[in-house]
Each structure stands twice: as structure tokens, then as C-alpha cells.
């Protein structure tokens, strides 16, 4: 079954919902001092959460020239299952992003516009419920569970 990815919520969508300019939303989300009164800022933040907005690291990178990405270079002692997954993804034209079970890890993956999750059997990260509540998780991202790892 193919799961169609929902349209990403943008600053323009949040601005439209709030009746303000995209620039004002950007200032509010980045907490730029002196640009947005606190009541408006709180309204924008609440609306952004309600719509499931997450920042675009691609857009941020274009603006500030930084990617916020770190490359993990591993040697030959990488667990065999990780090599296998990475190899199959590479053949299909995908890169592999490694997430930990630390708070915020899933939200950063969502913000980087991942297309799917491969879940190793382990306990869910502490922010799992928060990430799932941001959007309709199962409809937006395919989740593959790896058995026997």
C-alpha cells in the first residue's frame, strides 16, 4: 500500500490562519525581540502547534547557509543490519538518518521532512506521543518495524 504524504504546513499557512503576514509569523517563531507583541506571538505559536507546523531545515539552511546536519562516518564494524538497511536505501535513492531515543530526536527527523521511519524494537522515545500528536503520524509517514534485531 502506498501512503501519500500530506502537504507540509508552512509559515504561509500559519500566517493565513492567523490573519498576519508570513514575516510576522517568522519573527514570532524565531522569537525575534521587539518585532511581535506577546499576545500575538502566543496566538501564532498556538496556531502553529494546532496546524502541526514544524520548521523547514531546508529553508533555514538557505537563509543562514548552514545545514544543521552532522555526518556520522562509520567503519567496517557497523552492525550488519545497519549496513543492509543503508545499502538497500542507497539503491532506492535514499539516505539514512540515524535517530536516538533521546527527547527531540523524532521531532528533528520530522522537521527534516523524512519520508518514513524504520523502527528497531525498543521502547518509544519520551517525545513519541508529542510527535504523534503533531500530525496524523501513521497517515503521513510509513513506519517499518524490524523484527528480530
Is the full-model pTM beyond 0.85? no
pLDDT tens digits along 82-100: 777 788 878 877 788 887 7
pLDDT tens digits along 117-134: 776 655 665 655 555 444
Out of 53-62, 107-116, 133-142, which region has the weakest mean confidence (pLDDT)?
A: 133-142
The Cα-based distances of 20 to 5, 31, 34, 52 in angstroms read 27, 16, 16, 18
Question: What is the pLDDT, as a whole number, of residue 2?
Answer: 45
pLDDT tens digits along 28-74: 999 988 899 999 999 999 999 999 898 877 777 777 776 555 555 55
State the helix-helix crossing angle for 38-51 and 22-30, rounded to 10 degrees. 100
Amino acid at each position: 500500500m502506498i501512503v501519500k504524504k500530506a502537504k507540509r504546513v508552512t509559515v504561509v499557512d500559519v500566517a493565513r490562519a492567523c490573519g498576519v503576514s508570513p514575516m510576522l509569523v517568522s519573527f514570532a517563531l524565531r522569537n525575534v525581540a521587539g518585532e511581535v507583541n506577546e499576545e500575538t506571538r502566543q496566538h501564532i505559536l498556538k496556531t502553529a502547534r494546532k496546524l502541526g507546523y514544524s520548521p523547514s531545515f531546508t529553508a533555514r539552511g538557505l537563509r543562514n547557509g548552514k545545514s544543521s546536519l552532522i555526518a556520522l562516518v562509520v567503519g567496517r564494524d557497523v552492525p550488519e543490519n545497519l549496513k543492509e538497511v543503508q545499502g538497500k536505501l542507497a539503491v532506492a535513492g535514499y539516505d539514512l538518518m540515524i535517530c536516538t531515543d533521546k527527547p527531540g530526536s523524532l521531532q528533528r527527523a520530522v522537521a527534516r521532512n523524512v519520508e518514513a521511519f524504520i523502527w528497531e524494537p525498543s521502547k518509544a522515545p519520551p517525545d513519541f506521543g508529542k510527535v504523534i500528536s503533531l500530525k496524523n503520524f501513521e497517515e503521513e509517514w510509513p513506519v517499518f518495524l524490524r523484527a528480530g534485531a
